[in-house]
């Protein structure tokens, strides 16, 4: 009598998210200038303005989602827009200048709770990498959380515990509802739209190079 082999246990949702978004995550990180050894104040100011232009409309869309009430408890007191406003004002930007900054209009779809959680996975996960950026900002530009670096500082010493709490909530939701694929798809969409917003020129240049290589391989002059 043949004994059937047990089926492998499915990977936890956080592990699936990490694996399923790795390509987008690596691509985005490869384009950042925030960890450059010659990072300038001008570069930093420009980066903050771009993040501001993405997070402001993104968080508005999140709050307007019909499913927001289902996962709101996971984002209480975690809004990032106030930190960006605080940092930019600390660095000398007036409110009328912030009001005039361009806003991203190519955002991920955030209709369902699963889509919201996929987006929040990216937003909350960024606070972990922000701890490394915070140290670099202090060493390179003498910028601290109190002097224009609060956005990347995240939750300070509580960043790790905040991430664990979010991860536990996301895992509980995915276990109960079983919408892993939708969560992963939304996370990738968030990475993609953020990447396009932060680094449009680099992406266009890469696409042109890829198109040229494809044309050469196909023998097209």
25-55 per-position pLDDT tens digit: 999 999 999 999 999 999 999 999 999 999 9
User: SS3 for 150-161, per residue?
Assistant: HHHHCCHHHHHH
Residue 77's pLDDT band (cuts 50, 70, 90): confident
What is the token pair recorded at 173? 């939701």
122-170 per-position pLDDT tens digit: 999 999 999 999 999 999 999 999 999 999 999 999 999 999 999 999 9
Which of 79, 103, 74 is closest to 154 using CA atoms?
A: 79
What pTM value is reported for the model?
A: 0.88
- The answer to whether residues 108 and 186 touch, using CB atoms and an 8 Å cutoff, is yes
Query: Domains along the chain?
Result: 38-200 (1.20.910.10)
């Amino acid at each position: 009598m043949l004994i059937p082999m047990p089926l492998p246990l499915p990977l936890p949702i956080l592990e699936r998210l990490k694996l399923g978004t790795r390509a987008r995550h690596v691509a985005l990180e490869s384009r950042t200038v925030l960890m450059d050894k010659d990072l300038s104040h001008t570069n930093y100011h420009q980066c903050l303005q771009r993040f501001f232009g993405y997070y402001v409309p993104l968080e508005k869309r999140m709050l307007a989602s019909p499913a927001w009430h289902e996962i709101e408890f996971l984002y209480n007191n975690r809004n990032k827009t106030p930190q960006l406003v605080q940092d930019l004002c600390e660095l000398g930007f007036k409110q009328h200048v912030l009001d005039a900054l361009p806003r991203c209009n190519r955002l991920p779809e955030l209709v369902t709770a699963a889509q919201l959680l996929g987006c929040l996975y990216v937003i909350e996960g960024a606070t972990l990498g922000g701890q490394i950026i915070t140290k670099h900002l202090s060493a390179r530009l003498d910028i601290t959380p109190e002097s224009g670096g609060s956005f990347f500082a995240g939750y300070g010493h509580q960043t790790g515990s905040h991430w664990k709490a979010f991860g536990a909530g996301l895992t509980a939701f995915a276990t109960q509802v079983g919408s892993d694929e939708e969560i992963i798809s939304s996370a990738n969409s968030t990475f993609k739209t953020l990447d396009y917003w932060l680094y449009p020129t680099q992406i266009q240049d890469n696409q042109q190079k890829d198109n040229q290589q494809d044309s050469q391989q196909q023998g097209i002059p």
